[in-house]
Amino acid sequence: MVVDNLQARYVAAIDNDRLEDWPGFFTDPCRYEIISAENVEQNLPLGVFFADSRAMLADRVASLRRANIYEAQRYRHIVSPALVLPPADNLTRAQTNFLVVRIMLDGDMRLFMSGRYLDAIDLSGPTALFAEKRVIFDNRRIDTLLALPI
């Protein structure tokens, strides 16, 4: 329930363009990555994005807001109930499936990504935080570009 709530608040921040709130869902340091299921299966470490601090996440937002050029777009995340996994290192572990629909300014809407979050969640503080969030996407192919966080 706590995990579902965290997940719901997390995707709402992204979908409602509150990207500045996004780093605040993580502990510091943390681990956030977007990587294909194919690479994970082959034990290959590189994905599309990697961060190990809140500052790196904040840099991503700053860059998206001020530096990068991409066509105006937003996401709609659809997430499954969390499958809670055995805890490790005093962290709650969970898998949550997701679909991301990308909506462009011109009205085009298509399924952009499907996959699963593999999360390690720190419940020790007043607010649940992601210590680790691995975004493992099923589609090897990324349409046009990936700008906003998943």
Which residues make up the interface to another protein (CB under 8 A)? 34-36, 38-39, 44-53, 55-56, 58-60, 62-63, 66-71, 140-147
Nearest to another protein of 86, 140 (CB atom):
140
Nearest to another protein of 68, 124 (CB atom):
68
Minimum CB distance to another protein, residue 64 (Å): 9
Minimum CB distance to another protein, residue 54 (Å): 8
Q: How far apart are CA 82 and CA 133, in angstroms?
A: 13
What is the DSSP track for 8-64?
HHHHHHHHTT-GGGGGGGEEEEEEEEEEEHHHHHTT----SEEESSHHHHHHHHHHH
Token duo for residue 118? 């593999």
Per-residue burial over 41-54, b if 16 or more Cβ lie within 10 Å, else e, is: eeeeeebeeebebb
Nearest to another protein of 78, 145 (CB atom):
145
78: part of which helix (H) or strand (E)? Answer: strand 73-79
Nearest to another protein of 40, 123 (CB atom):
40
Minimum CB distance to another protein, residue 120 (Å): 18
Minimum CB distance to another protein, residue 107 (Å): 15
Minimum CB distance to another protein, residue 55 (Å): 4
Q: How far apart are CA 19 and CA 64, in angstroms?
A: 9
Nearest to another protein of 13, 48 (CB atom):
48
